[in-house]
Amino acid sequence: MKSKKIGLSRLSQVQGGTEHWADGVVHLRRGPSGGSNEEIGQKVARGRALPADGRLARKSYKIKKVLVLGSGALKIGEAGEFDYSGSQGLKALKEEGIKTVLVNPNIATIQTSPLLADEIYFLPVTPYFVEKIIAKEKPDGILLSFGGQTALNCGLELYDKGILKRYGVKVLGTPVSAIELTEDRQKFADHLRGMNVSVPPSEACGTLEQAKAIAEKISYPVMVRAAFTLGGQKSGVAYDEKQLIEIVSAALAVSPQVLVEKYLHHFKEIEYEVVRDSAGNCVTVCNMENMDPLGIHTGESIVVAPSQTLTNDEYHALRQISIKIVQSLGIVGECNVQFALNPKPKNPNTDLMQSKGQNQEQIQNTKYKILNTKIEYYVIEVNARLSRSSALASKATGYPLAYVAAKLALGITLNKVKNQVTKITQSFFEPALDYVAVKIPRWDLEKFSGAEETIGSAMKSVGEVMAIGRSFEEALQKAVRMLASKARGISYAGFNTATPDLERWIKIPTPKRIFALAEGFKRGMDAEKIHEMTGIDPWFLYRLKNIVEIEKELGEKKKLDKESLLKSKQAGISDKIIGKLAGKTEAEVRYLRKKLKITPSVFQIDTLAGEAPAKTNYLYLTYHGSHNDVKPLGKNSVMVLGSGPYHIGSSVEFDWSCVNTALSLKKYRKKSIIVNCNPETVSTDYDMSDRLYFEDLNLETVLDIYDFEKSGGVAISVGGQRPNNLAGKLHENKVPILGTAPENINRAEDRGKFSALCDELSIPQPEWANCASIAEAKTFAAKVDYPVLVRPSYVLSGSAMSVCFNDADIENFVEKALGLTAKKYSVTVSKFMVNAKEIEYDAVAQDGVTLVYAISEHLENAGVHSGDATIAYPTQKVFSSTEEEIKSTSRKLAKSLNITGPYNIQFLVKENKVYVIEINLRASRTLPFISKASGVNFARLIVDSFYKKGSPVRLSYPDHVAVKSPQFSFARLAGADPVLKVEMSSTGEVAAFGADLGEALLKAILASNNLTEKKSALLTLGGPVNKRRLFEATKLLSDAGYKLYATGATYDFLKEREIPAEIVYKLNDGKMPSVIDLINEKKVAFVINLSEQNGEKVKKVGGEVTDGYLIRRAAVDSHIPLFTDLQLARSFIKALTEKSLDDLEIKSWREYMPKGKMDI
Amino acid sequence: MTGKLILKDGTEISGYSFGKEKSIAGEVVFATGMVGYPESLTDPSYAGQILVMTYPLQGNYGVPSKEYWESDKIQVSGLIVSSYIKTPSHHQSERTLGDWLKDEGIPALEIKDTRALTQKLRTKGAMLGKIELGEKIQFADPNKENLVARVSTKKIFTIESYGSGNKTIVLIDCGAKANIARELSARNVEVIIVPWDYDFLNANIKFDGCVISNGPGDPKMANKTIANVRKLLAKKIPTFGICLGNQILALAAGGDTYKLKFGHRGQNQPAVIKGTDKCYLTTQNHGFAVGKIPKGFREWFYNANDNTNEGIIHGNLPFMSVQFHPESRPGPLDTGWLFDEFLKKI
């Protein structure tokens, strides 16, 4: 990032001052020279169309080949929404007959499919690689705004360096000058002020002292923002100088500049999604209101569409301002404008009217008095590209923003783009919603040891859900259930009459606040009081109160008559909670409900609120209806259950499986019905299936949909663990499940049963025991020797899984694990094998016979969660005898479990002996990687197997290597310890191809890390084993001319062996130069920090802080690649010292495939 | 209390009453705007109609004081919503929507499935209906009544004028929304408001141009207005019609109008300037449309969804009109520039 430029599109004013507060008051009255739509209108009306735009339209339409930049791995602040936007963009280009070239190393995405892109490069989205691709592919146009900030930054750099010009690549859509203007805070703020648009008083500065002075001038509280783009990193609100010092210091550590701005306490936060075409036509597709007041990042906030508390005048004034901004920038495509709106405007200003010479007193009749509506607003952010909000807006309205934006980028005007939902109208309109959409973020903070739980102006969430209902209550409660936590609604979710500190939970924003609010109402708290405490508009609070009151009534009455049941369902109360209140089981409530004919209606999302007959297949359920918009598809349809919100352990890879399954059903003339609730996904694009239910994946909803559709089968094995967990219950309810029988799924997933099966088949597995108490666990651990691995059954992404090295670890952990385990299942303690290899086996079987399989290898030793592991295909260091054993073991398991459909087995290999760790009878996380690395679409075979039409496919041994690398988002999670462990913590992944392991690995690491060309590294190696085993690699580095820095014992070790190194001191040493300064000053290209495998304590909140933790934390905070695994570090160093950048081949996926065919 | 919405085709839908508990008959129409219920309910164009709101939550921000309304009272005959919100939140709110309806004597029902009702009206067209709360009543067709006469200013010989400036505009009140006058006055012209049938050309008024307002019902009922507009045209006085005014201008100039199946009522109607790619998002509220374009005029705007007429303009004389509402309230503020265009002609 250039120091003179600040990437954030937040706005500032050069001179802060109170006079700007008055700017915020606008009148609904439009002057003759008001909004820019009007100005253009006047010109057009006078027969003067905009010449520049007209030329653009004609010129850009000749584009034949377009380069699209993706966003790379999923990370906090930049996630699945860009798979959606890229996919829609590619689709729109393809329709126009344009060849597309996509650069995106995120191999699990759907956009990286030949279905959507003509050429695909699994290479880093960096100027170096993209330039090479441009030189090779010679595209004539490029799209920058479909791959988040990653693509935008890369594109701007290519533009600034003159690379695009040199190769004659035209930037399509919004002009670069406009993007650059929005990316430069100061210039943009000046631009807005120049056109009478209000921005919060603020000033930028580069030192702490300056920041203090500015804060004094603006007056506390102030918002501090660092010059980083993704999701408000290192931002915070300071209420006093002490907090200011803390926040500014942290921000200045990562950025040369910070912005101190007036904190708009308890203002509403409102967003508009705007599209504009090259003819200057402009509409706002959606507006959204954050339930949480300003101060909580919109990505962290509960958001509702459309706005609920805005009057016509407010809604349209803000709409007009967003259009005015977008017109002024000349956006061609999509733009997001975020506002702060004062719910109690303090600065009424009537100057505007008086300046028009009106004499109000002369007007007797109040009916015609000039409106005195005052609005106090500030523009707080503008994103001149597709964003998370635009993905949400697309799903909330049915208006495919990314698809339309791509058409507009080609110069097509809005009225020439067909409305993809109605098919009979066009795209120049603003959707009218006849429902409410509610988004709730999904956090996984408990997965990161040490991470702070509070939420605020920086993003921490890893995914989101969206729910649709005909009342706020219905949508909100659905959304809560969609999160896949234990909560079945806002009540009875972790808070009860005994919870202490309830007021604190209400006041301090955390992921749990919504539940604390419900408990507050249960305890009789007043909505107005909670409003004072939280700034949440009373409108929302009264809706929550309504839910609590209906539940209370139900609890008192205990009688479930038709009226009370219907009322409860209309308030979104789940059968389970109704049962709890009325003393019945969930199943009993369901039975009664159906007997009383209280079932949800199926409604369409048609963008026009029913005004035009729509062909749309985009559906939701509601209890506020008495009819269905569609007829059941019946036996010939198949329900495909999606994966729900992205979170650690369940991400875009399951969406890939889901979409590919739905698409493959066409071959069998089956109608696909996707059920999913994640607005970031491609599976929730309405053209990926014959029907889309934007709905929850819990039993109640899935049964409701099944009862209506009467589908011939339900696919539960392609959406990850969540739908898979429904196997038993769906089976009990006589729902036909495609693939492996539910009894066999249970046999594979219940550890006891599975272990018995392995014993029966003489398949070795690490010693294990079921333990129901700490004492039992300790006894077992003593028997097999520490370390041991502790985990519950039905595990995904290592939730509540840990390696324990001693009795104390067990005590600490087993309680937590037991607490997380459903009563029916037990906790497993197993021998943890040190220095073992881990192998992934992915396959599809039909009636117990394997049709296709692929074996891949973890580069790290066992002990790193498979989702965090670096995985290579084909295997590099596995003996063929071992592979044979893996195959034979898998065959046995497939046969005895009579598997039909996907399965994945994880093996341990130690001293050439093969052990089974676990088996999953569902599509695994590695499925898209394996499919794309091997060139065989496993999902297609899954569908074949469902219909018993699969024939065996033998994978040819590839002449390339593919490597999948994890993407971590630790930098986003203050306090979290960035160390690899058995619990998964990565948020995404990338993959790359190469002629050998080294090339593929290096590309993958470059794609997921910010590796600079600096020839220096820091080594801090704990224990003699690590030092010895990394020695060879260390020597390679040194020989290759790397300057090495090392801490205490590592330095001594290197010195003894005559490897030149420079010593840096740990904090505890108290000497200079300090290792932390070294990292903060970015003097090294990467850090290798290896801990002894003895269970070094990770940092806990308020607990002890180790040097190792501080070093790791400093590395991620400074965005320096960090290696904490010995094996990976060795492989990386080997590759780094063997290859130069020039050695990394620029080859498309097609070029790696046999016969150059991408047939998946 | 529960009541019933009964349609002419026999459909009966029961719902909870949250307005005045009385029975009323009218024409049932739906509107798709997501904000602006105080503005819509006070829009005189809705006179005689039972309005169905497609946005399911109504009452969210309460009701502001009278100065923010579009006329002195609620104009709709009845209101149908999916869910009524009785706990509004807004700094301008003075009372709840329910209380307002009760105060003004307007019945309202919460019926949940407004979507089914909308689909019926879309398929079968706007339909006669009645809300029955207690007393049984007959259906009544408001389009057979001269609704314009009902909603136009009653003070027949009183000329309300306001605003200042050196130009004067006569606004023919066929049921004008207050914001038309506000928009004109904000542009520094004096506005004189006259009743729909007032023969202002023979009165002693000096004026520079005329605006024909929006209004309810069948334009052909406003025969006196049509006759007056004919005189205006003969005198080549700059004239600007809005909504019903568009239809009246067309009829006065020799064109024709017809009844749409279910009309346009919403805030997201796309109007395109004919011969260009320039579109505007507009507020609309009409059940009739211009069919035959009068001689000397051309189509100015058309609807991008169904190609119906959205405005006409004369080839060389200062006569123009639009089917949508440039004054907005409720709705987008995109076409306010039309007032400037018109004022340039005077």
CA A955 – CA A1075 distance, rounded (Å): 49
pLDDT score of A850 more than 90: yes
pLDDT tens string B305-315:
999 999 999 99
**Residue A261 token pair:** 């701005």
B305 vs A contacts (CB less than 8 Å)? 424-426, 429, 612
CA distance A244 to A719: 45
Q: Is the pLDDT of residue A62 over 90?
A: no
CB-CB neighbors (< 8 A) of A539 in chain B: 60-61, 85, 87-89
Q: Given B34, B113, B266, which is nearest A627 (Cβ)?
A: B113
Measured CA angle at A477 (ends A473, A482), to 5 deg? 150
| H, E, C per residue of B36-89 | CHHHHHCCHHHCCEEEEECCCEECCCCECCHHHCCCCCCCCCEEEECEECCCCC
Instruction: Compare all CA atoms of chain B with the CA of A352 and give the residue at the minimum distance.
Output: B186
Residue B210 catalytic? no
Dihedrals phi, psi of A718, to nearest 5 degrees = -120, 5
Write the pLDDT tens digit of every residue in A717-761: 999 999 999 999 999 999 999 999 999 999 998 878 998 999 999
Chains A and B: how many Cβ contacts under 8 Å? 268
Which secondary structure element, helix H or strand E, spans residue A676, and what is its range? strand A671-676
**Confidence class for position A558, pLDDT limits 50, 70, 90:** confident
Residue B11 near chain A (CB below 8 Å): no
On whether the CB atoms of residues A66 and A142 are closer than 8 A, the answer is: yes
Statement: residue A230 has pLDDT above 70: no
**Token reading at A1120:** 């320096």
Interface test with B, best of A268, A285, A368 (most B CBs within 10 A): A368
Among left, alpha and beta (phi > 0; psi -120 to 50; other), residue A1155 is left
Question: From residue A407, how far is each of A114, A322, A386, A414 by CA, in Å?
Answer: 20, 21, 14, 8
Quote the CA–CA distance of A339 and A754 in Å, as a whole number: 55
When CB atoms are compared, the residue of B87, B115, B268 closest to A610 is: B115
Beta bridge partners of A830: A768, A789
Q: What pTM, to 2 d.p., does this model score?
A: 0.92
Which is the catalytic residue, given B110, B210, B243, B286? B243
* Signed CA dihedral, A749, A755, A759, A760: sign only: negative
Distances in Å between the alpha carbon of A647 and those of A722, A797, A930?
Answer: 12, 10, 21
Cα–Cα distance, A390 to A403 (Å, whole number)? 11
The span from the CA of A708 to the CA of A635, in Å, is 11
pLDDT at A817 exceeding the cut of 70: no
Mean pLDDT, residues A220-246: 78
* Chain B residue whose CA is closest to A608: B32
Cβ contact (<8 Å) for B61 and A311? yes
**Minimal Cβ distance to A428: which of B38, B164, B279:** B279
Q: Cα(A131)–Cα(B343) distance, rounded to whole angstroms? A: 55
In the sheet that holds B279-290, the strands lie side by side as: B160-162, B190-195, B168-173, B209-212, B239-242, B319-322, B309-314, B297-303, B257-273, B279-290
| Marked catalytic residue, from B39, B190, B310, B327 | B327
CA distance A429 to A845: 49
- Residue A1112 in contact with residue A823, Cβ under 8 Å? no
Set of chain B residues whose Cβ sits within 8 Å of the Cβ of A364: 162
Look-up: residue for tokens 């709705």?
Answer: B331
B87 close to A (CB below 8 A): yes
More confident residue, A954 or A828: A954
E strand map for A138-267: 141-143, 170-171, 202-205, 222-226, 236-238, 258-262
Residues of chain A found within 8 Å of residue B112, distances taken between Cβ atoms:
470, 570, 624-626
Average pLDDT over residues A399-409: 97
CB of A283 closer than 8 Å to CB of A430: yes
- What sections of chain B are H helices per DSSP? 37-41, 97-104, 114-124, 147-151, 178-186, 223-234, 244-252, 337-344
CA-based angle A84:A89:A92, to the nearest 5? 125
| A370 neighbourhood in chain B, CB within 8 Å | 182, 185-186
Q: How far apart are the CA of B65 and the nearest CA of chain A, in angstroms?
A: 10
Contacts of B272 in chain A (CB under 8 A): 415, 428
Cβ-based contacts of A48 with chain B (< 8 Å): none
Binary contact (A416, B277; C-beta < 8 A): yes
Average pLDDT of span A986-994 = 96
Query: Comparing C-alpha atoms, which of A1001, A1009, A1026 is closest to residue A970?
Result: A1009
Tell me the per-residue pLDDT of A676-727, one tens digit each, with 9 for 90 and over: 999 999 999 989 999 999 999 999 999 999 999 999 999 999 999 999 999 9
Instruction: Scan residues 204-233 of B and list those with Cβ closer than 8 Å to A.
Output: none
Contact between B334 and A35 under an 8 Å Cβ cutoff? The reply is yes
On whether the CB atoms of residues A179 and A384 are closer than 8 A, the answer is: yes
Q: How confident is the model at residue A227 (pLDDT cuts 50, 70, 90)?
A: low
What was the pLDDT predicted at B166?
Answer: 80
Find the residue in A nearest to B274 (Cα): A45
Helix then strand count (H, E) for chain A reads 41, 39
* Residue A1125: φ, ψ to 5°: -115, 130
- CB atoms closer than 10 angstroms to residue A880: 8
The pLDDT tens digits of the residues spanning A585-613 come to 999 999 999 999 999 999 999 999 999 88
Pick the residue of A311, A426, A563 with the most B CBs within 10 A to test the interface with B by mutation.
A311
Is pLDDT at A385 greater than 60 in this prediction? yes
- The pLDDT of residue A356 is 36
Q: Which residues contact A95 (CB under 8 A, 6 or more apart)?
A: none
pLDDT tens by residue, B166-207:
889 999 999 999 999 988 988 888 889 999 999 999 988 889
Put simply, the answer to whether A309 touches B328 (Cβ < 8 Å) is: no
What's phi and psi for B292, nearest 5 deg? -75, 125
pLDDT mean over A936-964: 96
Average pLDDT, chain A: 88
B264 is catalytic: no
Taking the Cβ of residue B16 and every Cβ of chain A, the question of whether any pair is shorter than 8 Å is answered with no
Q: Is the ipTM of this complex over 0.85?
A: yes
Interchain CB distance below 8 Å, A611 and B332: no
DSSP class of A298: G
- Token pair 């760790």 in the structure block, residue: A917
DSSP 3-state percent helix, strand, coil across chain A (nearest 5): 40, 20, 40
CA atoms within 13 A on the CB side of A478: 34
Contacts of B341 in chain A (CB under 8 A): 42, 45
In tens, the pLDDT along A1087-1096 reads: 999 988 655 4
Phi (first) and psi of residue A933, to 5 degrees: -70, -35
Whether the CA torsion A770, A772, A776, A782 is positive or negative: it is positive
Say whether A422 sits in a helix, a strand or coil. coil
Verify whether residue B243 is a known catalytic residue: yes
The verdict on a CB contact (< 8 Å) between A323 and B334 is yes
Q: Is the CB of B333 less than 8 angstroms away from the CB of A30?
A: yes
Q: What share of chain B is helix, strand, coil (3-state, %, to 5)?
A: 25, 35, 45
Residues 6+ apart with CB under 8 A from A884: none
Q: Do A430 and B90 touch (CB under 8 A)?
A: no
Across the interface, do A356 and B122 touch by the CB < 8 Å criterion?
Answer: no
Query: Residue B278 and residue A35: Cβ atoms within 8 Å?
Result: no
Q: How far apart are the first and last CA of chain B?
A: 55
Locate B271 and state its tokens: 């109007």
Rounded alpha-carbon distances, angstroms, from residue A318 to A311, A378, A467, B39, B300 = 11, 10, 25, 18, 29
Closest residue in A to B123 (Cα–Cα): A613
Please give, rounded to a whole number of angstroms, the shortest distance from the CA of A316 to a CA of chain B. Answer: 6
3-state secondary structure of A613: coil
What are the phi and psi torsion angles at A1040 (to 5°)?
-80, 5
The whole-angstrom separation of Cα A742 and Cα A746 is 6
Distance from CA of A1078 to the nearest CA of B (A): 54
Q: What percent of chain B has pLDDT over 70?
A: 97
| Best B14, B53, B189, B305 residue to mutate vs chain A (most A CBs within 10 Å) | B305
- E strands, A862-912, in order: 871-873, 901-910
Please tell me the predicted confidence (pLDDT) of residue A347.
60
Q: Do A999 and A1144 form a contact (C-beta atoms < 8 A)?
A: yes
pLDDT tens, residue by residue, B30-87: 999 999 999 999 999 999 999 999 999 999 999 999 989 999 999 999 999 999 999 9
| pLDDT for res A811 | 81
Supply the pLDDT for residue A8: 35
CA atoms within 13 A on the CB side of A821: 27
The residues pairing with A857 across neighbouring beta strands, listed in sequence order, are A839, A872
Given an 8 Å threshold on Cβ–Cβ distance, is A432 in contact with B54? yes
